[in-house]
Amino acid sequence: MTDPAGGRRTVVVTGAGRGLGEAMARRAAADGYRVVVAELNEERGSRTAAAIREAGGTAEFVPLDVADPASAQALAARIAPGGPVYGLVNNAALANGVGGKEFQDIDVETWDRLMTVNARGPWLVAKHLLPLMSTPGRIVNIASDAALYGSPRLAHYIASKGAVLALTRAMARELGERGITVNAVAPGLTEVEATESVPAERHALYAANRAIPRPQRPDDLVGLVSYLLGEESRYLTGQVVAVNGGFTMH
């Protein structure tokens, strides 16, 4: 995808070193965007960016810790010379190994860590990238269908992803006049490295209650994200779309 000046539009994908983030970054590059792989783990982020370039795309790895305001500010400073930012996919989150305790047994430190990364992180990155964003522009926040279903023994994660849904609506209201759309995607339980630690009973719950019974894969999500970044979604904003094979329906 090109900007009015003829260059490739820039899309930033956070947490793009593996799993869903990597799949979305690869698809964005295949769609013709210049991709900024914003990732905490240098090895994973560099690998994703290199793989995109080897496939003929344009990508750059930039380190990012979404829990650190200085890191988010440094991300903006690093990519500013490359021109305006067209799209942001707020994907980085803590998800693996976070469940198992009922809400009253979750310690304060763990609660605060989840909220800092999963809820404050998307706001923080968007805050620092907004001055660079073009008109039109696109922001896609990755939430979770757990916030729609209310999975047990996962209260802090659900609260953090529920905050992402509310943040999406607030940002959409404020940025509509600037031609920037803001939407959220709520994936179901997806077969990626981050979900390997999810208890077997939760995998069984999804398997038994999906309308589409097969396991969910990262490539089940990337088409929707591609659409939300594209021109045809220009009049769609403030919405939440669950991609989970019909596990939840609204």
CA distance linking residue 70 with residue 196, whole number of Å: 31
Catalytic residue, from 33, 86, 149, 157: name it: 157
Measured CA angle at 199 (ends 223, 213), to 5 deg: 45
Q: CA separation (Å) from 20 to 113, 170, 187?
A: 21, 25, 9
Which residue intervals of the chain are DSSP H helices? 19-30, 42-54, 69-79, 108-114, 121-129, 146-149, 155-175, 200-209, 222-229
Measured CA angle at 21 (ends 101, 110), to 5 deg: 25
Q: Does the active-site annotation cover 206? A: no
Query: Which residues are identified as catalytic?
Result: 157
